[in-house]
Structure 1
Amino acid sequence: MNIYEALKNIRWDYSEYFKYKFGIRYDQTKPPKSQEDFLRLVGKKTMNTYIQWERTKEYKDLVALYLQSRVANDLAEVYDKVSTKAKQTADEKNIKLMLTLHKEINEHAKQAFLQFKDVEEEEDDGLEL
């Protein structure tokens, strides 16, 4: 499950708060919401409800999913830089780091494959044609 799927499974206003807090916007041409804009959107006067929600397991699980997606993006950026440097300099340290990143990326790919495989199996209704 990714952060977008998880946000669909929680209360609407909590989902909006999470997107507001972490700057998750589908339309990147629009500026981020201010606190006043957010409160107007959800029809609240204070942030107290959401500050209390931040102490829950549900919120912490969402944060973990969000950070997991950020790590994947960071890994791609780091790999591009290390790969370029290793190819240009042929430095032993950079080559070892690139190979370590290869292993890490392959491990992530295996986990992603298993996740998508599980999703495909769940969608199979067992009917045969």
Structure 2
Amino acid sequence: MNIHDALKAIAWDRAEYFKYKFPAVRFDQTKELKTQAEFLNVVNKKTMNPYLRWEKTAEYKALVTLMLQARTADDLQEIYTVVIQNAKTGDDKAVKLFLALTREIDTHAKLALKNFEHQEEDEEDNDDLIV
């Protein structure tokens, strides 16, 4: 599951907030960024309080982890060039640091995926089919 699939699995207003907070996640990068007032109008809320509380939940943290994993993949090409240059000059620390960071983010992303897989299983169990 990637960040876009995960955003489809949550409430639409929370997905909109996540895209508001992290504009790089949006598909259409040509649209102007929303102001806070415009965002609140779209989701029909008066304050940001529900979203600020949501930022403290495991669901939000899982989304951030998936987003960071995607950013890591995007940054890999840039970092790869720098690491190769540094490695060729004998800087093994740069290589080890990058590999350690990548492993750490992957570990957190796996935990995030488990959170969303659990939600999907719950939805399948509650499909209201009578057998």
| TM-score between both structures, scaled by the size of structure 1 | 0.65
Residues 50-65 of structure 1 correspond to what in structure 2 (within 5 A)? 50-65=51-66
Aligned-pair distance for 1:75? 2.1
Aligned 8 A contact 1:20 1:33 in 2: yes
- 1:12 and 1:56 mapped to 2: Cα distance? 16
Amino acid at match of 1:53: W
2:90 aligned residue (72, 89, 92): 92
5+ long unaligned stretches in structure 1: 112-129
- 1:17 and 1:3 mapped to 2: Cα distance? 14
Taking CA–CA contacts closer than 8 Å with sequence separation of 6 or more, which of the two structures ends up with the larger relative contact order? 2
Q: Which has the larger radius of gyration?
A: 1
Amino acid at match of 2:11: R
Find the counterpart in structure 2 of residue 126 from structure 1. Answer: none
Find the counterpart in structure 1 of residue 35 from structure 2. Answer: 34
Alpha-carbon RMSD? 2.7
5+ long unaligned stretches in structure 2: 107-131
- 1:4 and 1:66 mapped to 2: Cα distance? 9
Identity %: 51
Find the counterpart in structure 2 of residue 21 from structure 1. Answer: 21
| TM-score between both structures, scaled by the size of structure 2 | 0.64
- 1:63 and 1:25 mapped to 2: Cα distance? 14
Find the counterpart in structure 2 of residue 76 from structure 1. Answer: 77
